[in-house]
Amino acid sequence: MNHNEEVITLQVPASAEYIDLVRLTLYGLAVKIGFSFEEIEDMKVAVSEACNNAVLYAYGDLDTGMAAQAPQPAPLIEVRFVKKNDALSIIVKDDGRSFDAAAAAARAKPVDGGSIDDLQAGGLGLYLMQALMDNVEVNCEMGTEVVLTKRLVKSGEL
């Protein structure tokens, strides 16, 4: 870790009810760093999308056919907030089934002449994240890791 970075790590159960906790942590940190209200709202929507994808796709049907086995520990989502001098990166990681990021990214492109309904599941969330953040990376080696980055523009740099 670079000495100009601070990392806050949060682990929450992969359940929709805990996404608010991630959003609250993001809000508290982003205010401290100096992001504007609009930037924080954009980041909250993007991080919610990333967490929702982890809940829905990574662990969606994990318990089918496993009734006879020993109970499994509840799946977790790990969220790391990496505070840099000029940016905040939010890394949402799950260890569930990877999804095909390239295919989702292709679906995420605006649909020429089509309606928003033409976007397939998963594609809209990625498109939204890309629209709201300065940089979005998806790594799918082990589980899925989504890296959302928002640069801090200090007043006077516009």
Return the bridge partners of 93, or none. Answer: 78, 145
Report the 10 Å Cβ neighbour count for 139: 14
What would the pLDDT profile of 122-158 be if each residue is shown by its tens digit? 567 888 999 999 999 998 887 889 999 999 987 655 5
CATH topology of domain 6-60+74-151: Heat Shock Protein 90 (3.30.565)
**Tokens 């980041």, residue located:** 43
Asked if 114 and 62 count as a contact pair (C-beta separation under 8 A), the reply is no
Question: Whole-model pTM above 0.75?
Answer: yes
* Residue (of 23, 12, 88) closest to 54 by Cα position: 12
* Residue (of 40, 60, 37, 38) closest to 48 by Cα position: 40
Q: Rounded to an integer, what distance in angstroms lies between the CA atom of residue 108 and that of residue 119?
A: 7
Q: What are phi and psi of 53, to 5 degrees?
A: -60, -40
Confidence check: pLDDT of 103 > 80: no
What would the pLDDT profile of 46-79 be if each residue is shown by its tens digit? 999 999 988 887 666 555 444 555 566 678 999 9
Domain definitions of the chain by residue range: 6-60+74-151
Asked if 46 and 128 count as a contact pair (C-beta separation under 8 A), the reply is yes
